[in-house]
Amino acid sequence: MTISSGDWDGRGLPPAAAARVARAAQSGVRSSLLAVGSQAGLDLAGFFAVGEVMGCVVQHLGWQGYVGCGWYGGMGGAWQVTTQVAVPGSRLPFSPYVDAYDGGWSLALGRMLEECRALGGDGVVGVSLEEHHLGSGNREFVALGTAVRSVGTEHVRRPFSTTLGGIDVAKLLQDGWVPAAIVPAIAAGVRHDDYRTRAATMWSAGNIEVPGYTALVSQTRAATRTLLGRRCADIGADGVILSSPMTLSISELEIGEGHRDHAAVATVFGTALAAFHPRARSAAAGSRPGSLAILPLNN
């Protein structure tokens, strides 16, 4: 079957996704990506699967337009080096890269939830998040999960999403927590390789710390954690469960003759939680002011 996308303007579901939703509605078959145990957990939580859903976007992503790092003039004309870190919405030379990276994940998650709505789902569980490098600076962002619907008569206007499976969702509901949304957080840092950095990495330097690189990775990770907390607070979440450990990638940028920078990109995904039971609200209130409860899934 050939599906034409010539008239698609990039808004709403891609034609292939719309066709997939239409086939599911016509056939009445409820597909699921969940394991048997996870499905059993959903049954206990009062949900049933209504179909697989996916959101994906292919995006060209690179450091186009980036011309330099954090050099600035100090007192007496001396040049100093800083580590610059950008989160989405920052105004730094490499901010467009961070904005595009963040936008790719937001668009993929948004399309997945749109498919869920089209199937009549109340949320998506067991979401897997994958990033594929397709060459020439092109990357695919994929969010894939199982849409579920409540067995009750009340249904949500905006579907929830979580990377957790059915058993873990049931645990949360039993303890008074409900998953709200998958929240991505990304930050990128850049540091110039000055004389001190290069000297610390020479073969003759021995096994020593490179303070510039330590600052780069530490500040980038810290900015990502701060962004995650802020985004969860913005949607009114009381807690968050990390989907997986934070990832960090480091690359070298050749800006020009004798000008070399190092860039670090840190990414983390969390499931934002809302407390609906007095016990859960009490646990959330017991955390420090302005902080979120980070919850384990055990006793």
Lowest mean pLDDT among 118-122, 226-230, 277-281: 277-281
- Number of structural domains the chain divides into: 1
Per-residue burial over 132-169, b if 16 or more Cβ lie within 10 Å, else e, is: eeeeeeebebbbbbbbbbeeeeeeeeebbbbbbbbbbb
Half-sphere exposure of 117 (CA within 13 A, CB side): 14
Reply yes or no on whether the pLDDT at 297 is more than 80.
Answer: no
28 lies in some domain:
yes
Reply yes or no on whether the pLDDT at 41 is more than 70.
Answer: yes
**Which domain does 221 fall in, by range?**
15-294
Lowest mean pLDDT among 85-94, 174-183, 198-207, 233-242: 198-207
Reply yes or no on whether the pLDDT at 227 is more than 90.
Answer: yes
Residue 48, classed as helix, strand or coil, is strand
More confident residue, 298 or 140: 140
185 lies in some domain:
yes
Which phi and psi angles does 157 have, rounded to 5°? -80, -40
1 lies in some domain:
no
261 lies in some domain:
yes
pLDDT of residue 292: 58
3 lies in some domain:
no
**Tokens 């579907």, located at residue:** 159
